[in-house]
Amino acid sequence: MSESAAPVERILVILPTYNEVENVGELCRQVIAQDPRIEVVVVDDHSPDGTGDLVETIQAGEPKLHLIRRSGKLGLGTAYLRGFRFGLDQSFDFVFTMDCDFSHNPSYLPDLIELLGRRDMVVGSRYVPGGGVENWPRHRRLLSRFANFYARTLLRIDLRDCTAGFRGYRRRVLETVRPFEIRSSGYSFLEEMAWRVDRYGFSMGEVPIIFEQRNAGVSKIESSEIYLAAWYVLLTALRPPKLVFPSDPSPPQESGEDPPAP
């Protein structure tokens, strides 16, 4: 599965935010400047620093910027799902996710978009030749490397960087792999998504990126998330969620609802 039949007309970039007021304005501007087909949706979890309010102000002069406000910090996994729902409802062809802290440089988007023309899912990858990480302390490099080795080996995913949040999906992938059933958040959401995409037989590709230390602000993902992710990966390997393939008789109806916050 790959090559696009119809021309790609609409591209959505989902930016999940929690306290990214120092980054969100400039990042939205740079993302939108990468390609005339790009629109952005910020999924903000009632950031106390006013991220949502700033986006609302910018929106007045930028029709390609959308904002979804949620009531509180509900987690990265459900923020991605909210963005996916928006992308599907609004008929976008390609849907990307990025961190809103400049770790994922928007200048890689054209290469990712080009590769997504020939693949079903693409990843901005730290662990293919030409990719890498800048300014990360040694312990964080080791942890990330190990997390990838662990997930790749246990889940048997043919992806060098399966915890990367800089990704693009074809609409057909989001319609097929049933992402709304995923209950895990953060890193394990990304690993389970990659696992689902692979199991459904979709093709995946990687574009090398240099991942940079966040520009401003502080990390929003707690370190306990890493252990939780390791646990979810093990559970998925031992007791994989039942996937319903299009050819299966009477598949259960998808609710389309976001799952409850983890």
Closest C-alpha to 161, from 133, 182, 136: 133
Alpha-carbon torsion angle 166, 194, 6, 257, nearest 10 = -90
- The reply on whether position 120 binds ligand GTP by CB under 6 A is no
Structure token pair of residue 123: 């990843």
CB of 193 to ligand GTP, least distance (A): 15
76, interface contact from Mg ion, ligand GTP, none, CB < 5-8 Å by kind: ligand GTP
What is the rounded CA–CA span in Å between residue 18 and residue 13? 16
Check residue 101 for interaction with Mg ion (CB under 5 A): yes
Rounded to an integer, what distance in angstroms lies between the CA atom of residue 32 and that of residue 41?
A: 11
Which residue in 64, 178, 199, 214 binds ligand GTP (CB under 6 A)? 214
Which runs of consecutive H residues, i.e. helices, occur in the chain?
21-33, 51-59, 76-89, 109-116, 138-155, 171-176, 186-199, 224-238
Q: Considering the complex, what minimum distance in angstroms separates the CB of residue 94 from ligand GTP? A: 20
Q: How many residues line the site for ligand GTP (CB under 6 A)?
A: 20
Alpha carbon 20 to chain centroid, angstroms: 17
Single-letter code of the amino acid located at 28: C
C-beta of 204: minimal distance to ligand GTP in Å?
21
Q: Which stretch binds Mg ion (CB under 5 A): 60-68, 97-105, 187-195, 240-248?
A: 97-105
In the shown chain, the binding pattern of residues 205 to 244 toward Mg ion, with x for contact by CB under 5 A and - for none, equals ---------x------------------------------
| CB contact set of 20 (below 8 Å; sequence gap of 6+) | 27, 47, 49, 51, 100, 101, 217
221 versus 243: smaller Cβ distance to ligand GTP = 221
- Contact predicate 9/36, CB 8 Å: no
Q: Residue 79 binds which one of ligand GTP, Mg ion, none, with CB within 5 to 8 A depending on kind?
A: ligand GTP
Instruction: Examine residue 133 and tell whether it contacts Mg ion (CB under 5 A).
Output: no
12, 71, 82, 6: which is closest to 40 by C-alpha? Answer: 12
Q: What binding mask, one character per residue, do residues 8-27 give for ligand GTP by CB under 6 A, x or -?
A: --------xxx-x-------
Question: Which of 39-47, 127-135, 176-184, 229-237 is the region at the interface with ligand GTP (rule: CB under 6 A)?
Answer: 39-47
Binding residue for Mg ion, selected from 22, 39, 45, 99, defined by CB under 5 A: 99
Q: For tokens 């998504």, what's the residue?
A: 193
> Based on CB atoms, which residue is closest to ligand GTP, 60 or 218?
218
Backbone angles phi, psi at 184, to 5 degrees: -85, 165
Q: Which residues bind ligand GTP (CB under 6 A)?
A: 16-18, 20, 43-45, 73-76, 79, 99-101, 103, 214, 219-221
Binding footprint of Mg ion on the chain (CB under 5 A): 99, 101, 103, 214
